[in-house]
Structure formats: structure tokens, C-alpha cells
């Protein structure tokens, strides 16, 4: 009996390859593996696809779904086939790649830069020798001449990139962790350790934006009192406060007391709730800009 998990539907295969369903379907038709029943024949609004003899030879099989009826799946081994590999040799933009990883194109390019695959140049990006080895191809705008980089589609499956993005997002499989006295700590891309995932998200975002910051820094205020700032940006004397939920009463009191001290000080404070941290790329730049600090 064949393992269902080793087979991909057309849509799943397209996602895995980083191509559109239309592009994959066209490739399968051109290769003679797939056809629809009758020229232009449709069932409702969906074409009814069937395997050719060649498609069956290459491992395509039918599955049945109560909801969708009969559909076609392809074996995992198809990923190494020359037809599929040639599809991956076409290029894809940073914007399209970022969609596959659910991050912004700006963030993706900064992560590419952190890997040493591209470097900033003339308001754009130049591919490095290391980046070229991973499929980066130099381009430039016809209108402005601003340089940018496109990538071979196989970059979607690059394990080094996947791991780096995973670490940026705080995924357990990619983020170094350690436990000290029963407290879990997570390592930022900068090498610093934080004690919660909300701070991990903020710290990683500041790091890839090239913003110098200190973590859990004790700052003396004008009245000689002291306050511990979660994130302190010395270039603009900005304190970033991430309000945490589900903490014990003593920790909550300490958090509130610290926030009140910062509000009374001459520090500029920017607040984020734990819910807002999930959209740190959208929210934090706007709040820092209002405080006089532009990330871009």
C-alpha cells in the first residue's frame, strides 16, 4: 500500500515549488502528462483533468474525495524529474518569494542581506558571489537603473533560507533555545537571548532593520530612580515596551510600575501589545516614525 503522505495534489505541488497553479498546469500539459477531458469541456466551472499514459508512467495516480470527487496526485519523486526541475530554473522576484514565507519583501531582502547573499547598492540590491551560488541573478530597472535581484525558483526549497526565516519568526525547530532555572530563553539573530517569543519577534525585527538596541537595560532617570527598559534604542532615546499577558500578579505589577516610570521620564516610549507583535512589521515602523525614527 502506498503512503498517501508521499503524494502531492497539483495545488500542493505548485505551492511547494513556489510557482502558480497555472504555471504548473501548463508545464504538465506541455510535458504530455495531463489533459482535460474533451476540448474545452467543463464540469461546472472546473475543468475535468485526466492523466495521459505518459502521466501515469511518471507516477501520477487518482484519488477520491467526498468533497471534491476524483483528483490527481503526484509522487514526491517527481520533484527530481527534469521537467519539474526545469520549471524551478525560471526566476522569481523577492516579492513572490516573500509571499511563500508570509513575510514582506523588504524583510526578505534584509534576511538575504544578513545571509550575505545580497548587499545594498544605489537604493537597491546587488547579488554577492555567495548569493549567485544560491541562484541569485542581478537585474536593474529599465526606467531608474536601480539594481535588484531575482532568484531561481528552487530558492523556495533552500534549507538554509528556510532555517534563517524560521529563526527570524521564532520557529522552535530553527531558534536556539536554552533553559535556566526553569525559565526558557530564545536566541535572537543578533546572538542576544530573550525570555519570551514576543521579545524575540521585536528584537529580530530591529536587528534585520539594522537598528542598534540594548535589551533589558537599566537606565537612570532624572529623579535618580531607575527603570528597566525592554528594548532601548540609544540613537533616539526610545524605549519599546511590549506589554505581556498571562503573567503572575507580581510580574504584572512590576510591568505597570516600569511603564509608569518611563512615561514620567524624558524617554520616548513606544508600546506594543502581545497581539500587535504578530504584525510587528506593519505596526512598529509607523510608531517609531511618529517618534522620529525611520526604519527605511
pLDDT bin (cut points 50, 70, 90) of residue 267 is confident
Mean pLDDT of 64-70: 84
pLDDT bin (cut points 50, 70, 90) of residue 269 is confident
38 assigned to some structural domain? yes
Cell numbers linked to 24: 504548473
Q: What is the CATH number of the domain that holds 259?
A: 3.40.960
Mean pLDDT value across the chain: 87
Which of 50, 72, 88 terminates a domain? The answer is 88
Cell numbers linked to 47: 475543468
Q: How many of the other CB atoms lie within 10 Å of CB of 202?
A: 24
Percent of the chain surpassing pLDDT 90 = 55
171 assigned to some structural domain? no
Which of 150, 165, 180 terminates a domain? The answer is 165
25 assigned to some structural domain? yes
Total domain count, the chain: 3
Cell numbers linked to 3: 503512503
234 assigned to some structural domain? yes
Q: Is the same domain home to 147 and 220?
A: no
pLDDT bin (cut points 50, 70, 90) of residue 206 is very high
Contact (CB, 8 A) for 75 and 64: no
Residue matched to cell numbers 500500500: 1
Whether the pLDDT of residue 48 is over 90: the answer is: no
* Element holding 115 (H helix, E strand): helix 105-115
Average the pLDDT over each of 1-5, 62-66, 177-181, 236-240 and give the range with the smallest value. Answer: 1-5
Range of the domain at 233: 192-290
Mean pLDDT of 206-231: 86
Mean pLDDT of 116-140: 96
Q: Is the same domain home to 58 and 99?
A: no
pLDDT bin (cut points 50, 70, 90) of residue 67 is confident
51 assigned to some structural domain? yes
Q: How far apart are the first and last CA of the chain?
A: 55
Q: Is the same domain home to 228 and 156?
A: no
182 assigned to some structural domain? no
Across-strand partners of 3? Answer: none
Which of 45, 63, 88 terminates a domain? The answer is 88
| Greater model confidence, 288 or 245 | 288
295 assigned to some structural domain? no
Mean pLDDT of 102-115: 95
Q: How much is the pLDDT for 2?
A: 43
Whether the pLDDT of residue 259 is over 70: the answer is: yes
Amino acid at each position: 500500500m502506498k503512503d498517501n503522505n508521499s503524494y502531492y495534489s497539483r495545488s500542493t505541488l505548485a505551492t511547494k515549488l513556489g510557482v502558480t497553479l497555472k504555471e504548473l498546469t501548463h508545464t504538465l500539459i506541455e510535458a504530455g502528462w495531463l489533459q482535460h477531458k474533451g476540448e474545452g469541456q467543463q464540469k461546472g466551472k472546473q475543468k475535468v483533468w485526466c492523466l495521459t499514459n505518459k502521466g501515469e508512467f511518471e507516477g501520477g495516480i487518482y484519488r477520491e474525495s467526498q468533497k471534491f470527487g476524483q483528483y490527481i496526485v503526484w509522487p514526491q519523486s517527481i520533484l527530481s524529474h527534469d521537467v519539474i526541475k526545469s520549471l524551478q530554473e525560471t526566476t522569481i522576484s523577492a516579492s513572490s518569494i516573500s509571499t511563500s514565507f508570509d513575510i514582506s519583501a523588504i524583510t526578505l531582502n534584509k534576511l538575504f542581506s544578513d545571509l550575505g547573499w545580497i548587499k545594498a547598492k544605489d537604493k537597491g540590491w546587488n547579488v554577492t558571489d555567495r548569493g549567485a551560488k544560491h541562484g541569485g541573478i542581478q537585474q536593474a530597472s529599465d526606467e531608474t537603473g536601480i539594481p535588484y535581484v531575482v532568484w531561481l525558483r528552487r530558492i523556495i526549497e533552500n534549507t538554509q533560507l528556510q532555517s534563517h526565516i524560521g529563526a527570524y519568526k521564532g520557529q522552535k525547530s530553527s531558534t536556539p533555545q536554552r533553559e535556566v532555572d526553569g525559565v526558557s530563553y530564545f536566541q535572537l539573530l543578533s546572538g542576544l537571548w530573550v525570555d519570551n517569543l514576543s521579545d524575540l519577534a521585536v528584537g529580530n525585527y530591529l536587528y534585520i532593520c539594522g537598528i542598534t538596541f540594548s535589551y533589558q537595560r537599566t537606565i537612570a532617570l532624572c529623579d535618580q530612580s531607575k527603570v528597566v527598559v525592554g528594548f532601548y534604542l540609544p540613537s533616539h532615546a526610545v524605549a519599546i515596551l511590549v506589554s505581556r499577558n498571562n503573567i503572575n500578579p507580581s510580574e504584572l505589577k512590576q510591568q505597570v510600575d516600569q511603564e509608569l516610570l518611563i512615561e514620567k521620564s524624558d524617554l520616548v516610549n513606544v508600546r506594543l501589545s502581545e497581539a500587535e507583535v504578530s504584525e510587528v512589521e506593519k505596526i512598529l515602523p509607523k510608531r517609531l516614525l511618529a517618534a522620529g525614527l525611520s526604519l527605511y
